Structures are given as structure tokens and as C-alpha cells.
């Protein structure tokens, strides 16, 4: 049975900006593929039509039916992994085989906080409106507020 | 890791019954398109076959306009011609294969003038059957119409294919190769879009020439034509059945003498065509029927050419009908060709990180003090709203005028009037919106200056504002920082954009007129949130919203996009 796998060093899946991702891809296929492609990319999920940004790709020509290869990618500054009410942004590594439909994907997180950023939602009825008379609660922003 | 369930890339696939229903629907498209293609190909093959017919000299024996009563095409070019083929003399009477006559006298008489009796010309003889000949071969332009039914064939066949094809589950589909292919397809798509608008522009240009430029130019040229007494031979309102109901046209056949020769014509004006509304045309016909000394205008250089109605008249405005098609075609073509060299998706493929900040209003990654530009200026809002109002109401007014005309002549019909009401309401709303934006143009204008063009997450910035104009009219001012996620998706043929506000902080609120006129405020972007991000369909936008309340007048409402970056600048 065809098998592709992506193994990350130390099984690390959370990264900060500009950090290196290192690991190894392994393949064990029934026939000799023409090519294997390993890509580092982000994609969006949610209500909107999917957007994809491929950051880096590595091509392995004539890899043979079985084998393994180490890889390393430098992550960019962003965009960060996040999840909102409408949009999620997911980073992933993907190994594909040509010809064939065999694919394996390994999701990772790019975030300065060590986890995916969660975006909340402010309901329309509680949104700030002109008629609002009470001031905003004390916060860094309100402390910094300075009039003329 | 938190995930959003729906991927927004297609709904639940239909069951077998649904697939059969869809297939029948698409098969109807396919069958109808195929039938037309067969008919077009048959005519094209016949026209192409006539290219092999032999061109031989012939003599016109007789040529006249014959009238056939009770027909949609009552005027027939009746011709007889003699030719010699394979040593024998033959006589033909076919002008063109498939020709049955014409609805207008003038067009038929043009043929009589082109092929007058006792003159020599060329005719085309079937080499297989010498008795078969025509004066004019069938046009091969029929082949161009092949493309139109092809759309139905492709939609039908494609619909059936996509209804039944086996789809790999979305989770198992690779993303990166599909994205690469999509980026390539988007570049190809730009060429396709340019070709589409190009065809639109060409068709619009041809229509504009034949339906607008030529009739208007001829109307102007007819100003110098010679006023000549004429005799009305026949005057009637002709009705024409179409998909949109019955339309009417003025038909007047008249005779006149010019330089000793007698001519007939049935050209009323240069626009021709038919339209709804019977009574106006009936009045024109009645006026000519009872006219004591009617006159027509004759082209002195070609006396067979004449017209009854010349000069500017309101109907000439209808000649401008193809103009929007031409403008849309040219505008779309220019926008597509001069647009961004690569689409956002394609750019995302090329760049290392896609775009992680707004590019539009602030420049790419500007640091240092920045004067912010509003997302849309009051003038632009007014122009956009006014154009929308003119475009919408321009179309709706045609139907409204028709409905009023019917009402004035006692032909009130309830259903079309009720159907029209929501469209009229939208038109009135657009006019109200345009008036609102016009008033808003006279509001005090804000200028916002930010201490940095790019603020990192967790970073602080200082905002300064000032107003020009009658600032005292603003009774209260609020400045709000807002983070919004935007998702654009297609549903059927429509494109929708949903928005969700994930962060909102009122930075400043005042009713002090001095503070309203100019002020400053410091603020901090939260650390644990998302930076600015703009892809083609999904965005994270940070905005500073300014809201100034003016009593009894449109408020000042301006939005300014700011650039929040992932890390330290």
C-alpha cells in the first residue's frame, strides 16, 4: 500500500516567526513515481473562498519507490495561524506524489504566543454606537488616552 | 487547534434523484444547442458548397418589386435572368437561396436598381445541375453564429459531466498543487476576461456604429436634402410579435417625383425598428392619411433615397442604447489589461509570505509619521451613488414611462405595475442616497496623522486629527479602533462578503468644540490578536473610524485603514 509521511524533528508543530522547520519525508510506494513535491504553505478555511500562499517547495525527481529525505524550511514572519468567526488561517507541509493521488499533509502553527490566535466576535447590538454615553472601561488604551 | 467546520467550497452533493433531475435539465441545454448547431452547420455547408458553383455572365431579362398581400415580407424582388452553361441557354429566377422577400419597399427597390432589366451581370450556376443558378451566393457569415449555440452545448455537456463525476473528498485533495494550478489559471483567466471584454467592446462598437452613429449622422446629413411634395400610397401601424409581446411600427409607403422621375419609398426615419406603444404611432399614421400636402426629403445625389421625418427628435436618444455596452466593453478591457500584473492569489504564490498588511491606502510598509487617506472620499461616494442612481433609474424610467403612457391611454394593467414598484423604490432609494452623499460633501473634512505607518502587535501609536471647514457644526466626535475579518465567497453567480468585528475600542469621545477641531490620542494594539492580512478572498483589516454627529445633516463618517504588522518594525 502507498505510504507517504512527514516527520518533524522532535515532533515540534508550533513555531515562531523566522524559525526553521526541520524534518524528514519518507515514502514507500508500489510503483516508481516520477516526482515528489514537498510544499510549505498557508491556506484559509471558513466561509470565504480558499486562499493559498505557497512559501517554499522542494521537488524530488525520480525518487524511487522507497526512500527518505531530510528537509529544512525557514518560516517567514507571518501570517500567523489564527481562527476567527469567519476565517481560519492554517499553515501546513504537504507531500504529493506525481503521478498518483497520494498526499499527506502535516499542519503546523506559526504564532508568537505558542498557539493559534483566536479572534472573538463583538455582537452588533453591543458594538459602539454614537448614542453610547458611558466611557470605555479602564484599559491600557484608556490610560494612554490623552486629549488636547 | 480550532477549526471552522464549513470550508465554503461547495454544498452537499445531490442524491441520485437530484442528479437525474440535473442531468435532464442539462440534457435539455445540450439537445437544444446541438439541434441549432446541426441546422447552422447544414446552412454553412450549403453556403460553402455554393463557393464551387461556376461564375458565368448573365443578362437580366426582367426585374421589379412585386407585392404579396397578407405576408410578413410583402415586397419581393422578382427577377428573371438568362445565362449560358454547357452550351445551353438557361433562365433563372432565384435571387439568393432562402430569399423570400422583405418587409420594406425601399430595400426591395434597391435590389431592382442594382439589377435593372437589360443589363449584364454575373450569376452562379450549380455545376451538377445547370438549371440551378443564383444571382447572389449564400453568405458564409452564418458560420459565425456557430459559437452562440456552442455555449448551450458546453453548458449542457459540462453540467452532465460535473453532475456525475466522482469527486475526491476535500480532505484528501492536495492543496499546494491545486493552488499552483489555480494561480496559473488565474493568469490565463485574465486573458480570457480581456477577450470577453474585447468581444463586448467589438460587438458594442459595431452596434453603436450601426444603431447610433450611422442613423444620427444620416439624420444630420438629411438636413440638406431637398424638400419634395409626396403622395401617400399607404399608411398603417404594423404590429410585430416578439418574446416581449407585441410591438408596433409606423409604415408609410409614399411616391414622389424628382427631376422628372417617379420614385417610391417607405422610409419614415433613419432609426426604423418597432417598439411598444400603439397610440402614438396611430396618431402619426392618421396625420399622414389626412395630410393635404405631405412632404418628404430627397437626397439630391441619390434621388431614390428619401425620408419623411428628419431633424432631431426624442426617439433619436434611443439610438444611444448600445453606448453602455461599448463603455462596459472598453472599460472592462482597459481595467483588465492595465490592472495588476498578477492577481492576489498569484502574488501569494510568488511572495514568501503573501501579503500580511494592507497595501492600498498607506503604501506597503511605511514607517514614520503617516497622513491617512480615507477608504472612500465623500466625492467618490457621491459619484458612485449618483452613477448607480442614474444607471438604475435610466433603465427603470423606460418601463415607468411605458406604464404611465399606458395609464394615460386607459390601458392600466395591475400585475406589471405592481411588479415594477420594488424597482422604482430602489431607484428612489438610490436618488435619496445620492442626495445624502451630496450633502455630506459639504461636511467638515478630517485629516488624520498617525505616528507610524506600520504598528506592530503590542505596539503603541499616536493619532492626531484636525478638521477643515465648519467644525462647529459637529456636536460630538468619536474615534474608534476596529479590527474586522472579511470573507468573500460566491453563491451561485453572486459574490458575497461577510464581515465580523473581532476588536473594537473607543479611543476618544468628546463634545468639546475645541477638542473636536483638533486633538490627539495614544493607543496600543493588543499583543494577542491578529495583524493585518489581505488575501484575495479573506482579510484581516484594522481601521480607525471617525464619527462626527451633525444635527439635521448627514454625519461625518470616515474610515481609515491602518497597517498592523506581525512583529517589531
| Residue B526 confidence (pLDDT) above 70 | yes
- Concatenating the DSSP letter of every residue in B393-436 gives HHHHHHHHHHHHHHHHTT---HHHHHHHHHHHHHHHHHHHHHHH
CA-nearest of B562, B510, B521, B558 to B540 is B562
**Is residue B15 in a domain?**
no
Contact between chains at A119 and B504 (C-beta distance less than 8 A): no
Q: Are residues B412 and B469 in the same domain?
A: no
Tell me the C-alpha distance between B465 and B480, whole Å.
13
Contact between chains at A43 and B179 (C-beta distance less than 8 A): yes
A-chain residue closest to B347, CA distance = A53
Strands A103-110 and A14-15: parallel
What pLDDT does residue B180 have? 67
Contact between chains at A122 and B529 (C-beta distance less than 8 A): no
ipTM of the complex: 0.82
Candidates B175, B348, B502; nearest CB to A119: B502
SS3 B114: helix
Q: Taking the model in full, what pTM does it have?
A: 0.56
Give contacts of A94 with chain B, Cβ < 8 Å.
174-176
User: What are B450's three cell numbers?
Assistant: 498617525
pLDDT in tens, B447-501: 888 888 888 988 888 988 888 878 888 888 899 999 999 999 988 778 899 999 9
Q: Are residues B493 and B551 in the same domain?
A: yes
SS3 A49: coil
Q: Are residues B549 and B527 in the same domain?
A: yes
Find which of B1, B10, B172, B176 to mutate to test the A interface (most A CBs within 10 Å of its CB). Answer: B176
A-chain residue closest to B524, CA distance = A141
CA-nearest of B345, B351, B560 to B455 is B560
Q: Fold for domain A3-113?
A: Immunoglobulin-like (2.60.40)
The mean per-residue pLDDT over the stretch B278-283 comes to 84
Q: Give the single-character DSSP code of B541.
A: E
Q: How far is A62 from chain B (nearest CA, A)?
A: 18
Candidates B478, B536, B567; nearest CB to A51: B536
B-chain residue closest to A39, CA distance = B176
Q: Are residues B398 and B305 in the same domain?
A: no
The mean per-residue pLDDT over the stretch B11-36 comes to 84
| Residue B285 confidence (pLDDT) above 80 | yes
- The residue out of B440, B471, B494 marking a domain boundary is B440
- The residue out of B294, B309, B324 marking a domain boundary is B309
More confident residue, B78 or B15: B78
CB atoms near residue B429 (< 10 Å):
12
Contact between chains at B353 and A55 (C-beta distance less than 8 A): yes
SS3 B109: helix
Find which of B3, B4, B505, B528 to mutate to test the A interface (most A CBs within 10 Å of its CB). Answer: B4
Give contacts of B481 with chain A, Cβ < 8 Å.
141
Q: How many helices (H) and strands (E) does chain A have?
A: 1, 10
Q: Are residues B436 and B456 in the same domain?
A: no
**Is residue B207 in a domain?**
no
Tell me the C-alpha to C-alpha distance, in Å, between residue B93 and each of B45, B83, B86, B132, B518.
23, 11, 19, 9, 90
For the purposes of burial, counting CB atoms within 10 Å of the CB of B422, is it exposed (0-12), middle (13-18) or buried (19 or more)? exposed
Find which of A2, A35, A50, A59 to mutate to test the B interface (most B CBs within 10 Å of its CB). Answer: A50
What pLDDT does residue B130 have? 92
**Is residue B152 in a domain?**
no
- Concatenating the DSSP letter of every residue in B303-371 gives TT-EES--S--GGGGGGGTTHHHHHHHHHHHHHHHHS-SS-HHHHHHHSSS---S--TTT-SS--S-EE
| Residue B4 confidence (pLDDT) above 60 | no
B-chain residue closest to A109, CA distance = B1
Contact between chains at A78 and B533 (C-beta distance less than 8 A): yes
Give contacts of B505 with chain A, Cβ < 8 Å.
136, 139, 141
Q: Are residues B387 and B474 in the same domain?
A: no
Q: Are residues B555 and B465 in the same domain?
A: yes
Give B12's contacts (C-beta < 8 A, 6+ positions apart). Answer: none
Lowest mean pLDDT among A88-92, B58-62, B462-466: B462-466
- The residue out of B255, B275, B309 marking a domain boundary is B309
Q: How many domains does chain B have?
A: 4
Q: Are residues B432 and B452 in the same domain?
A: no
User: Can you list the alpha helix ranges (DSSP code H) found in B225-264?
Assistant: none
A-chain residue closest to B182, CA distance = A52
Contact between chains at A49 and B351 (C-beta distance less than 8 A): no
Tell me the C-alpha distance between A81 and A44, whole Å.
10
Contact between chains at B176 and A54 (C-beta distance less than 8 A): yes
Q: Are residues B394 and B449 in the same domain?
A: no
- The domain of B498 spans 445-565
Give contacts of B509 with chain A, Cβ < 8 Å.
135
**Is residue B253 in a domain?**
yes
Tell me the C-alpha distance between B192 and B337, whole Å.
11
**CATH number, domain containing residue B506:** 2.60.40.640
Candidates B356, B490, B547; nearest CB to A130: B547
- Domains of chain A, by residue range, sit at 3-113
Work out how many CB contacts closer than 8 A connect A with B: 231
pLDDT in tens, B217-276: 888 888 889 999 999 988 888 887 766 667 888 889 999 999 888 888 988 888 777 777
Amino acid at each position: 500500500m502507498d505510504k507517504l509521511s512527514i516527520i518533524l524533528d522532535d515532533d515540534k508543530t508550533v513555531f515562531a516567526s523566522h524559525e526553521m522547520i526541520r524534518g524528514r519525508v519518507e515514502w514507500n510506494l508500489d510503483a516508481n513515481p516520477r516526482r515528489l513535491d514537498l510544499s510549505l504553505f498557508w491556506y484559509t478555511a471558513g466561509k470565504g473562498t480558499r486562499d493559498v500562499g505557497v512559501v517554499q517547495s522542494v521537488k524530488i525527481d525520480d525518487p524511487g519507490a522507497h526512500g527518505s529525505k531530510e528537509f529544512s524550511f525557514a518560516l517567514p514572519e507571518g501570517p500567523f495561524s489564527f481562527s476567527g468567526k469567519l476565517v481560519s488561517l492554517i499553515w501546513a507541509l504537504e507531500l504529493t506524489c506525481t503521478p498518483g493521488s497520494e498526499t499527506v499533509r502535516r499542519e503546523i502553527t506559526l504564532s508568537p504566543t505558542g498557539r493559534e490566535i483566536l479572534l472573538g466576535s463583538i455582537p452588533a447590538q453591543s458594538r459602539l454606537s454614537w448614542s453610547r454615553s458611558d466611557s470605555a472601561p479602564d484599559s491600557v488604551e484608556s490610560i494612554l488616552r490623552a486629549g488636547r | 487547534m480550532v477549526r471552522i467546520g464549513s470550508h465554503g467550497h461547495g454544498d452537499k452533493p445531490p442524491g441520485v434523484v437530484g442528479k437525474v433531475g440535473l442531468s435532464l435539465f442539462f440534457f435539455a441545454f445540450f439537445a437544444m444547442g446541438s439541434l441549432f448547431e446541426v441546422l447552422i452547420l447544414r446552412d454553412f455547408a450549403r453556403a460553402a458548397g455554393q463557393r464551387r458553383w461556376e461564375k458565368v455572365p448573365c443578362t437580366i431579362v426582367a426585374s421589379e418589386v412585386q407585392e404579396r398581400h397578407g405576408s410578413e415580407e410583402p415586397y419581393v424582388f422578382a427577377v428573371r435572368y438568362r445565362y449560358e452553361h454547357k452550351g445551353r441557354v438557361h433562365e433563372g429566377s432565384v435571387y439568393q437561396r432562402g430569399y423570400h422577400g422583405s418587409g420594406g419597399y425601399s430595400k426591395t427597390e434597391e435590389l431592382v436598381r442594382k439589377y435593372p432589366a437589360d443589363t449584364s451581370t454575373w450569376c452562379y450556376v450549380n455545376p451538377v445541375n445547370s438549371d440551378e443558378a443564383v444571382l447572389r451566393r449564400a453568405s458564409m457569415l452564418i458560420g459565425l453564429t456557430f459559437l452562440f449555440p456552442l455555449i448551450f452545448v458546453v453548458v449542457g455537456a459540462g453540467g452532465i459531466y460535473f453532475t456525475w463525476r466522482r469527486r475526491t473528498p476535500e480532505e484528501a485533495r492536495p492543496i499546494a498543487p491545486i493552488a499552483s494550478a489555480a494561480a496559473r489559471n488565474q493568469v490565463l483567466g485574465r486573458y480570457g476576461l480581456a477577450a470577453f471584454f474585447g468581444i463586448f467592446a467589438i460587438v458594442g462598437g459595431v452596434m453603436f456604429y450601426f444603431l447610433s452613429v450611422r442613423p444620427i449622422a444620416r439624420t444630420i446629413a438629411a438636413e440638406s436634402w431637398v424638400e419634395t411634395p409626396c403622395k401617400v400610397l399607404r399608411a398603417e401601424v404594423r404590429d410585430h410579435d416578439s418574446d416581449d409581446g407585441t410591438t408596433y411600427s409606423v409604415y408609410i409607403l409614399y411616391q414622389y417625383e424628382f427631376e422628372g422621375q417617379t420614385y417610391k419609398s417607405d422610409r419614415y426615419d433613419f432609426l426604423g425598428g418597432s417598439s411598444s406603444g400603439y397610440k402614438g404611432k396611430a396618431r402619426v399614421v392618421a396625420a399622414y392619411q389626412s395630410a393635404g400636402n405631405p412632404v418628404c426629403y430627397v437626397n439630391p445625389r441619390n434621388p431614390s433615397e428619401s425620408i419623411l421625418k428628419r431633424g432631431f427628435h426624442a426617439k433619436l436618444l434611443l439610438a444611444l442604447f448600445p453606448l453602455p455596452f461599448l463603455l462596459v466593453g472598453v472599460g472592462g478591457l482597459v481595467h483588465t489589461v492595465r490592472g495588476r500584473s498578477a492577481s492576489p492569489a498569484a502574488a501569494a504564490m510568488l511572495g514568501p509570505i503573501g501579503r500580511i498588511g494592507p497595501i492600498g491606502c498607506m503604501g506597503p510598509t511605511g514607517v514614520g509619521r503617516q497622513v491617512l487617506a480615507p477608504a472612500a472620499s465623500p466625492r467618490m461616494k457621491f459619484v458612485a451613488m449618483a452613477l448607480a442612481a442614474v444607471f438604475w433609474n435610466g433603465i427603470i424610467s423606460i418601463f415607468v414611462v411605458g406604464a404611465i403612457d399606458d395609464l394615460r391611454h386607459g390601458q392600466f394593467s395591475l400585475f406589471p405595475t405592481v411588479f415594477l414598484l420594488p424597482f422604482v423604490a430602489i431607484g428612489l432609494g438610490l436618488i435619496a442616497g445620492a442626495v445624502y452623499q451630496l450633502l455630506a460633501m459639504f461636511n467638515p473634512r478630517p485629516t488624520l496623522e498617525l505616528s507610524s505607518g506600520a504598528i506592530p502587535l503590542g505596539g503603541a501609536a499616536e493619532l492626531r486629527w484636525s478638521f477643515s471647514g465648519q467644525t462647529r457644526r459637529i456636536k460630538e466626535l468619536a474615534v474608534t479602533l476596529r479590527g474586522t475579518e472579511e470573507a468573500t465567497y460566491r453563491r451561485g453567480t453572486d459574490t458575497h462578503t461577510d464581515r465580523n468585528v473581532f476588536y473594537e475600542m473607543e479611543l476618544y469621545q468628546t463634545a468639546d468644540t475645541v477638542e473636536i477641531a483638533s486633538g490627539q490620542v495614544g493607543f496600543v494594539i493588543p499583543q494577542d490578536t491578529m495583524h493585518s492580512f489581505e488575501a484575495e478572498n479573506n482579510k484581516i483589516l484594522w481601521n480607525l473610524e471617525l464619527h462626527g454627529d451633525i444635527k439635521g445633516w448627514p454625519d461625518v463618517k470616515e474610515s481609515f485603514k491602518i497597517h498592523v504588522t506581525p512583529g517589531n518594525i
